[in-house]
Amino acid sequence: MPGRWRGPADYKRSSAVWREPTGPTITKPGRWREPADASPSESCGGPFGRDFRPHSPDPCQSAKLRVLAPDCGRPLPAHSLLVTEIVSIPDITLSAVDAALQGGVVSIGNFDGVHLGHASLLGQTRQLADRLGGPAIACLFDPHPIAILRPELAPKRLTSVEERARRMTKLGIDYLVVCQTSTDLLNLSPERFFGALVRDNLKCRGVVEGENFCFGKDRRGDVEVLRTLCHDQGIEFRVAEMESADGAMISSTRIRDLLAEGNVREAAAMMDTPHLLCGVVAQGDRRGRTLGFPTANLEQIDVVIPAGGVYAGFASVGTTRHPAAIHIGESPTFQSGDPTKVEVHLIGFSGDLYGQTVSVELIDRVRGVVRFDSVEAIADQLRKDIQSAQQLLALP
Ligand SMILES: Cc1cc2nc3c(=O)[nH]c(=O)nc-3n(C[C@H](O)[C@H](O)[C@H](O)COP(=O)(O)O)c2cc1C
Ligand SMILES: Nc1ncnc2c1ncn2[C@@H]1O[C@H](COP(=O)(O)OP(=O)(O)OP(=O)(O)O)[C@@H](O)[C@H]1O
């Protein structure tokens, strides 16, 4: 049965991953630009489809749902740039990863959003792996530990695991190891955690972490503890300087806060790529087309939805990318909608999108949501919004 733990040697590995013949593109950390043929919609379900639902509150349930690529049966599109291979380890104290993953350099964290701080860290991981020989590995925990420890405080994530892998590809990371989070794992002391994952499983030659890295039960291990553990095992250890913007450290939490304010532009700057909302088009009230602006209503979005407002962005359907005006939140004019409703008007597009997967890159904010007194007034404003969006997107 796919995804079920069968024994120590049984770790899940995505086999439907396509590797570029020339290997991953390595560029200066945080300075890469998306190649012209990369379509964000492929990263929504990615090659793993929408079956990959890692955020179940019940870790056992999550393990059952962990159906990675081998069983999804869908071929990876040729233009997809996903190269970083996702490897799932159900239990770090039991699993035995294969030799290809061993002898490299690891960086451990959540890497949600793969922001510029992560990019700098992972760039150094790549460099050290090149020097020492062996793969460059990022390792994260899924679900996020907070979802098990304090589920009521667990924030929505910025990026799916597949999207993180896609971003890591551009940073030269060979493997994204996804450790199945459980209470047993969270109860491991720093020493036992290090022994199980870094020493015995990955047999690392090097470790790279940021200054604020903590690990092990109650976050008792810090970079000094890690330095000693690495030293005792003859593992090279490097501490990366923290990356900042406007005098404050860049973090996933800070990016979530920016999105909560509707500041998608700054969030994009910190991730070096726009925030991506991916959903399936559902039926709305069918009012949009009567206003002259049909909208695709997106459902099943499982990442942070920014504050209510009108945004400029791009919407991708399959491999086609359209400029778009996006409305998030309620429609007070019609007393309808909810704060997380996402409606997308694809500029210059007409056609049926129901049931299709659409991914939206949020580039900039146009304005807040307003209540209009008449249908004519809102239609007038929508025309202006399309113009503003086109300007913000620098379209002719
Ligand atoms: C670019 C854009 C801006 C919008 N701004 C507002 C707004 O300020 N106030 C409002 O009540 N509705 C706003 N809407 C929502 C429209 O009222 C909504 O698209 C319409 O009710 C159609 O809903 P339906 O897709 O469920 O049929 C906006 C929609 C778009 C596409
Ligand atoms: N701004 C940064 N510069 C350099 N390294 C960073 C930065 N932020 C985090 N890191 C490092 O990246 C690794 C992964 O950290 P993690 O994903 O938990 O970071 P985070 O962005 O601070 O997340 P959160 O806001 O949820 O705490 C850790 O080694 C951490 O020290």
Q: Is there an atom of ligand 2 within 6 Å of 146 CB?
A: no
- Decide if pLDDT at 201 tops 70: yes
Domains by residue range for the chain, with CATH: 12-242 (3.40.50.620), 273-392 (2.40.30.30)
31 pLDDT more than 70? no
Rounded to whole angstroms, the Cα distance separating 114 from 161 reads 10
Cα–Cα distance, 238 to 105 (Å, whole number): 10
Return the ligand 2 atom nearest residue 255 CA. 25
3-state SS string for 203-258: CCCEEEEECCCCECHHHCECHHHHHHHHHHHCCEEEEECCCEECCEECCHHHHHHH
Distance of CA 179 to the CA centre of its chain: 16
Quickly state the pLDDT bin for 40 (edges 50, 70, 90): low
Q: Distances in Å between the alpha carbon of 3 and those of 51, 58, 64, 101, 179?
A: 11, 15, 6, 20, 13
> Would the CB of 118 count as within 6 Å of ligand 2?
yes
The residues lining ligand 1, judged by C-beta closer than 6 Å to any ligand atom, are 284-288, 293, 295, 297, 310, 325, 327, 331-334, 343, 345, 369-371, 378, 382, 385
Q: What is the pLDDT of residue 274?
A: 97
Ligand 2 pocket test, pick from 107, 114, 116, 121 with the greatest ligand atom count within 8 Å of Cβ, gives 121
> Which of 77-86, 211-220, 366-375 is the least confident region?
77-86
Lowest mean pLDDT among 46-50, 237-241, 259-263, 308-312: 46-50
DSSP H helices in 87-115: none
Residue 378 CA, ligand 2 centroid: distance in Å? 43
- Tokens describing residue 3: 């995804």
- The pLDDT assigned to 139 comes to 97
pLDDT one-digit tens code per residue, 311-367: 999 999 999 999 999 999 999 998 887 889 999 999 999 899 999 999 999 999 999
Task: Give the Å distance between the CA of 179 and the centre of ligand 2.
Answer: 17
Share of the chain above pLDDT 70, in %: 79
Q: Is the pLDDT of residue 28 over 90?
A: no
pLDDT interval class at 64 (50, 70, 90): very low
242 lines ligand 2 (CB under 6 A): yes
Residues 153-199 have pLDDT tens digits of 999 999 999 999 999 999 999 999 999 999 999 999 999 999 999 99
Residue 367: nearest ligand to its CA? Answer: 1
Has residue 52 got a pLDDT over 70? no
Rounded distance between C-alpha atoms, residue 278 and residue 357, angstroms: 7
- Residue 396: the pLDDT is 72
Residue 73 has pLDDT above 80, yes or no: no
Atom of ligand 1 nearest to the CA of 287: 27
Residue 14 has pLDDT above 70, yes or no: no
Q: What is the pLDDT of residues 208-234, one digit of tens each?
A: 999 999 999 999 999 999 999 999 999
Least confident of 30-39, 273-282, 293-302, 312-321: 30-39
Give this complex's ipTM: 0.92
Rg (CA), the chain: 22
Q: What is the pTM of this model?
A: 0.83
pLDDT grade for 25, boundaries at 50, 70 and 90: very low
pLDDT band of 82, cuts 50, 70, 90: low
Ligand 2 centre distance from Cα of residue 117 (Å)? 7
Kindly give the number of the ligand 2 atom that is closest to the alpha carbon of 249.
1
Segment 197-209 shows an average pLDDT of 97
Predicted pLDDT of residue 2? 28
pLDDT recorded at residue 46: 37
19-28, 252-261, 295-304: range with lowest mean pLDDT? 19-28
Q: Which atom of ligand 2 is nearest to the CA of 253?
A: 25
pLDDT at 284: 75
Report which ligand 1 atom has the smallest distance to the Cα of 284. 26
Distance 249 CA to ligand 2 centre (A): 9
* Closest atom of ligand 1 relative to the 333 alpha carbon: 11
Amino acid (1-letter code) at residue 171: L
List, for residues 291-311, the tens digit of each pLDDT value.
889 999 999 999 999 999 999
Indicate if ligand 2 lies below 6 Å from the C-beta of 109. yes
Dist. CA 4–CA 146, nearest whole Å: 24
For residue 42, is pLDDT > 50? no
Nearest residue CA, atom 29 of ligand 1?
327
pLDDT, mean of residues 254-271: 98
Q: Which atom of ligand 1 is nearest the CA belonging to 368?
A: 8
pLDDT at position 22 over 50: no
Q: Ligand 2 pocket, 117 CB below 6 A? A: yes
